[in-house]
Structure 1
């Protein structure tokens, strides 16, 4: 039991605590969320910049989906024009003129 009171044991314990404090400080300094012993967040981080970026990306995604739909319609029309019989296409154009 004498090894539990040796200075080496105390040094290792102190070094472990100093390392834990230093690691926690680095996480806080660089914006990482603090975690408990099982990996759960101790304090959820709500970053306004991240929320705004998510809103912008959602809006951009909706715009791109709409544009993609319009482009698909155009491609279908062009494919129909390219593969249809020329007389039928001429007849449809003339029908549109009248």
Structure 2
């Protein structure tokens, strides 16, 4: 059973467009990964990280350290904000009573 040449002629442009579109999508995807710092993948799907050398590792270490400091500062600011929200929303009489109880604790 042979295929009619007119069918092959009708399907061929669609196949060529599909191949070109898939190659273009692969190029764009790879470019976006590189641009945004994502690792590329080898043929087995495992991530391949470029050899950044010591300078890149030092930058990563410094950024990680700064990130830890900022997280600690953010935690303390959240605690302070919770206290301020409680002060703003509590009734004045309850707040005055709590301040008085703290003052008496310090005197004892």
Specify the TM-score bucket, using the shorter chain as the normaliser: 0.5 to 0.7
CA distance in 1, matches of 2:56, 2:86: 45
Indicate the residue corresponding to 1:57 in structure 2. 63
Q: Distance in 1 between matches of 2:55 and 2:63?
A: 12
4+ residue runs over 6 A deviation: none
- Number of residue-to-residue matches in the alignment: 59
TM score, norm. by length of structure 2: 0.50
Offset from partner CA, 1:18-67 (integer Å, 9 cap, x none) = xxxxxxxxxxxxxxxxxxxx6x96xx524111000000000000000010
TM (norm. structure 1) is 0.55
Distance of 2:52 and 2:89 partners within structure 1: 55
Structure 2's unaligned 5+ residue stretches are 1-42
Give the counterpart of 2:79 among 73, 80, 83: 73
* Structure with greater contact order relative to length (CA < 8 Å, sep ≥ 6): 1
Quote the RMSD (CA, aligned, Å).
2.1
